[in-house]
Structure 1
């Protein structure tokens, strides 16, 4: 922390001394040349913390500086004694122009391929190790949680000490197809299939379910198609580190992507992932007003898991 002296104004009044956190703006280049940015904060004090650093990954359309879930959680994790790296993936924001070794091209949630996320997360974990952090935890929120699980379920998964998947949605073609929104979902799938068939897979469409946003036709099929490539219920058993999944009690009642997840995940525990699930009472998808509760659950679980 850095102290800022009082400021005096022309009417004779003065402001109170303030403090602010020093942040290191950092950059990495993924193995395919995509450059990404983030913010690394170090704790002012280092109590006997189970981890040296957390890598925190945002959800769909968000970014490392957004004032939402990760922004509210980061100070709590810092207070527990670990550094916090909030990092962009190539899916940051809905649409962005991404710098790379080969120039700039359209990126963001609308254009990204989720299966490229391990390239981003692996690069960020390598940066933390270069900075001297050895005991690293991976924390993803929403789509960031899916990307974290996907990365650690891979054959070449980077080694981390712990995984926290905060509100990973169930991307299940079968479930969405059978839901109350199923008719609209099938219409969107058919539209995307036709666009891809016509050679227009890279064109954007606006979809309303399971999430309202712009996405390419090919991207929608990749993310929500019958292959269910990113269904965490099919991936989490391959994770090889202690894993905690959290949900807000409100979101599991409000959306098909989360309904039933706290009950479906525990049977997927293995000796390697020792999967546990926690539901934060009163929390919505962004854990609004519940960051203290979420941080306390993470800290308690982590100390037991180590």
Structure 2
């Protein structure tokens, strides 16, 4: 049997007993936020209720997209004792347009905080986004809320934002996400786009084909050669990635009747009775899906806000029923212990 030399044995012992150098962890992605000044152009009347506060933040999503945010907070309660509503606007809107303004002011006056964000499909970026990217903006808001000390989070989405918060709530079961509120939600956007907003089978097929072509050519962010039918009655520009991820009934992920049954949290659905965008049957489609056998929501409730005015686009943003919206949302949160 061959014996090791004393020198070799000493070297081996030294190597085994010498600790390896400690290397600092490399951070490859992160979420952050900073204080931001009040945005220019806001109306002077946009102020918090007495005793509440309004401040502005700039969030950085995990892919470095910048997200503007407005944080409405109640008076003296600590974040750990306050429910935070993360509010996501509708198509081409932003963090302070109706109903985000009334929701922020009203809920903060009642003792809850609201973090309203402008996602990457805000304003003139309308109909340009990839549905799956919006999740990163909402995740940045949720992470910011946690960093600020909030321990109870509610997701609220208006119009197009409703499907975005449904997707997050269905795929992120974090225990601090307690409830979901859907304001003026559509039921199945690809079906609605094809059969109601466009109602032109040949044009719809052309858009589908053109979108797939741009995707295969590596140009998903480019606009399609033909416009898309829209809820205003106009035909509007749309990118390939938006059409495929929101509007194509072959591949879109924007079907609320699919996601709502996979949300393991209580859900509130709200609609203005004069909403000309959301058809009266759409909330009931969502309610039926949420209440179907095997669906995960422990509770789903639909509240129709009375409005005697004729149907209008303004009612889609609760122009006449902002106070009633806040009252219904507050009652729901109170019932949920939030």
The TM tier, using the shorter chain, reads 0.7 to 0.9
Q: Of 9, 15, 40, which aligns to 2:71? A: 40
Q: Which residue of 1 aligns with 2:12?
A: none
Q: Which residue of 1 aligns with 2:113?
A: 83
CA–CA distance in structure 2, aligned partners of residues 131 and 81 of structure 1: 16
- The answer to whether the aligner puts 1:123 opposite 2:136 as a matched pair is no
Given that residues 170 and 260 in structure 2 are in contact (C-alpha distance below 8 angstroms), is that contact kept between their aligned partners in structure 1?
yes
CA–CA distance in structure 1, aligned partners of residues 46 and 284 of structure 2: 43
Q: Of 180, 187, 210, which aligns to 1:194? A: 210
Listed as ranges, the matches of 1:49-198 within 5 Å are 51-66=82-97, 68-95=98-125, 109-154=126-171, 159-179=176-196, 181-183=198-200, 186-194=202-210, 196-197=212-213
Ranges of 4+ aligned residues in structure 1 off by more than 6 Å: none
Distance 1:58 1:20, change over 3 A: closer
Distance 1:180 1:144, change over 3 A: closer
CA–CA distance in structure 1, aligned partners of residues 81 and 237 of structure 2: 40
Given that residues 23 and 40 in structure 1 are in contact (C-alpha distance below 8 angstroms), is that contact kept between their aligned partners in structure 2?
yes
CA–CA distance in structure 1, aligned partners of residues 75 and 141 of structure 2: 22
Given that residues 142 and 166 in structure 1 are in contact (C-alpha distance below 8 angstroms), is that contact kept between their aligned partners in structure 2?
yes
Distance 1:50 1:271, change over 3 A: farther
How many equivalent residue pairs?
270
Deviation at 1:85, TM superposition (A): 1.2
- The answer to whether the aligner puts 1:305 opposite 2:329 as a matched pair is no
Deviation at 1:275, TM superposition (A): 1.1
Q: Which residue of 2 aligns with 1:234?
A: 258
Given that residues 24 and 41 in structure 1 are in contact (C-alpha distance below 8 angstroms), is that contact kept between their aligned partners in structure 2?
yes
Helix, strand or coil for the counterpart of 1:61? coil
Deviation at 1:51, TM superposition (A): 4.6
Distance 1:158 1:229, change over 3 A: farther
Q: Which residue of 1 aligns with 2:322?
A: 291
Helix, strand or coil for the counterpart of 2:317? coil
More helix by share: 2
Given that residues 172 and 231 in structure 1 are in contact (C-alpha distance below 8 angstroms), is that contact kept between their aligned partners in structure 2?
yes
Helix, strand or coil for the counterpart of 2:200? helix
Q: Which residue of 1 aligns with 2:305?
A: 280
Q: Of 258, 277, 300, which aligns to 2:279? A: 258
Given that residues 166 and 260 in structure 2 are in contact (C-alpha distance below 8 angstroms), is that contact kept between their aligned partners in structure 1?
yes
CA–CA distance in structure 2, aligned partners of residues 189 and 19 of structure 1: 44
- TM-score, normalisation: structure 1: 0.78
Deviation at 1:174, TM superposition (A): 3.6
195-204 or 134-143: which moved more?
195-204
CA–CA distance in structure 1, aligned partners of residues 119 and 298 of structure 2: 24
Distance 1:300 1:60, change over 3 A: same
Given that residues 151 and 157 in structure 1 are in contact (C-alpha distance below 8 angstroms), is that contact kept between their aligned partners in structure 2?
no
Q: How large is the RMSD of aligned CA atoms in angstroms?
A: 2.8
- TM-score, normalisation: structure 2: 0.71
Q: Which residue of 1 aligns with 2:4?
A: none
Query: Structure 1, residues 37-77: CA drift from partner, whole Å, max 9, x if none?
Result: 21112113559x995221111111111133x2111221110
CA–CA distance in structure 1, aligned partners of residues 96 and 58 of structure 2: 14
More strand by share: 1
Given that residues 125 and 158 in structure 1 are in contact (C-alpha distance below 8 angstroms), is that contact kept between their aligned partners in structure 2?
no
